Amino acid sequence: MGRLFAVEIVYRGIFQKNLAKNISRGIALAARHAGKMGISFGRYGDSPERNGIPAKSFAVIGTDEETLQEGMAKYEPKEVDVSIAVDDTLFKGVESWAWYGLQPINRLLRPGGTLIVTSMNGPEALIPMAHRKETPYRLAILKGTPSFSGLWVYKDDHTDVRVLGAIAKVLPDLFTIDDVEKAILEEWSAPLKVTSARKAHERITTRVVSPSEGNLEKTFEFELPKWYEMREGVSIPSIARGAAMTDPVTQQTGGYRPVRNPTFKKYTTRTMRPVVNFDTCVKCTLCWLQCPDSCFDVTPDALYDANMEACCGCGVCEAVCPVENCVTMVNETAFTDNASQWEMWKKDKPAYAAWLQEKIQHKPERSHGFRYRGQYEEQLPPMMEIAGGAGPEDESDKEG
């Protein structure tokens, strides 16, 4: 048996589908130029891919056909040489809804493997978000903003080829940057993309992450029963009805907080989360009524507190709020927990006001699509400047 290589690409369903497809396919093509053989494929869990939900693509490469066949026999790789997160907010862990529960972004990395992430943040911001791993691994940061190259619109900012260039640097046994160049010219016929891949290859650096670094949170675990342990019939405990909330200062009770599934969380979907200015809230109920996931709790003083474990970050609450800047969507990487904002506000209103203003500074300039014609042309130049490349090569890259 020869050597089997495996790479996973973790991306946001639909919004980054084309990006993940290009990366996984590019890995297989570059490996072929290196004299290896491989396949690329997607896996979405047990339900269809949905907007923003974490999903995965894989590339499995073998040095010979027998080795590749052995790797293809598995539903998915149990260990990977490289994990790629094309959105840094995925560092908090991923859960493709109703899949396995929250899983660490580095779960499949073999000892000494490399986690590549597209981010403008440094290791000091990203490592505390990722769960701790028992063995050391390497972190490589590809400087750039998250690229929402989705199912309907492809934003060609060269993130795909830059990732290929980074892989050639961190895993040269898989393929070289020359192999990447050949694959790019074969697939895209784009010399400019070659330039971007080579610059990423030159600039990417790694940092070893030790077992003592990272988030200590224990993720969801389960053990499947053995066939001889199965009972007749299946019973599933229901979720409790919910109860009134308690004011942390006055101890007044009132309002309503539904009980939510203890293992089924939606917050890994978020790239942004809402922050609420309770001092300007007019209690119109629109956020509570319009939230598609019913994540707002009704407080004893008739305000609305977003449950951050149930919130998927869709931004509907910000869109329907009639009060300017009462609800603001903020970059998810600015937060370290899912604590109640209302309780924080009740306990110390001046401190909350300062916290609110600090968080609003992280309001992201990102979108999953285009709100007006011409937005693509406005967004692309600064993204390409970060990447160190140039602009798009022809008019075919523009949105239709």
Is residue 371 assigned to a domain? Answer: no
Its pTM stands at 0.81
Q: Which domain holds residue 169?
A: 4-221+382-397
| Statement to judge: residues 118 and 208 lie in one domain | yes
| Statement to judge: residues 217 and 251 lie in one domain | no
| Separation between Cα atoms, residue 72 and residue 343, nearest integer Å | 50
Is residue 174 assigned to a domain? Answer: yes
| Statement to judge: residues 279 and 322 lie in one domain | yes
| Statement to judge: residues 27 and 139 lie in one domain | yes
**What CATH number should be reported for the domain holding residue 324?**
3.30.70
Q: Stretch 204-214: mean pLDDT, rounded?
A: 96
What's the pLDDT at 135? 96
At 123, is the pLDDT very low, low, confident or very high (cuts 50, 70, 90)? very high
Residue type, 87: D
Q: Stretch 121-126: mean pLDDT, rounded?
A: 94
**What CATH number should be reported for the domain holding residue 188?**
3.40.920.10
pLDDT tens digit string along 152-162?
A: 566 788 999 99
If phi over 0 gives left and psi between -120 and 50 gives alpha, with beta otherwise, what is residue 107? alpha
Is residue 228 assigned to a domain? Answer: no
| Statement to judge: residues 51 and 146 lie in one domain | yes
| Statement to judge: residues 208 and 281 lie in one domain | no
pLDDT value at 101 more than 90: no
| Statement to judge: residues 149 and 23 lie in one domain | yes
Q: Stretch 144-170: mean pLDDT, rounded?
A: 83
What lies within 8 Å, CB to CB, of 373 at 6+ separation is: 399
| Statement to judge: residues 184 and 294 lie in one domain | no
| Statement to judge: residues 190 and 109 lie in one domain | yes
Q: How many domains does the chain have?
A: 2
| Statement to judge: residues 114 and 166 lie in one domain | yes
pLDDT tens digit string along 252-281?
A: 999 999 998 877 777 877 888 999 999 999
Torsions phi, psi for 93 (to 5 deg):
120, 160
| Statement to judge: residues 89 and 158 lie in one domain | yes
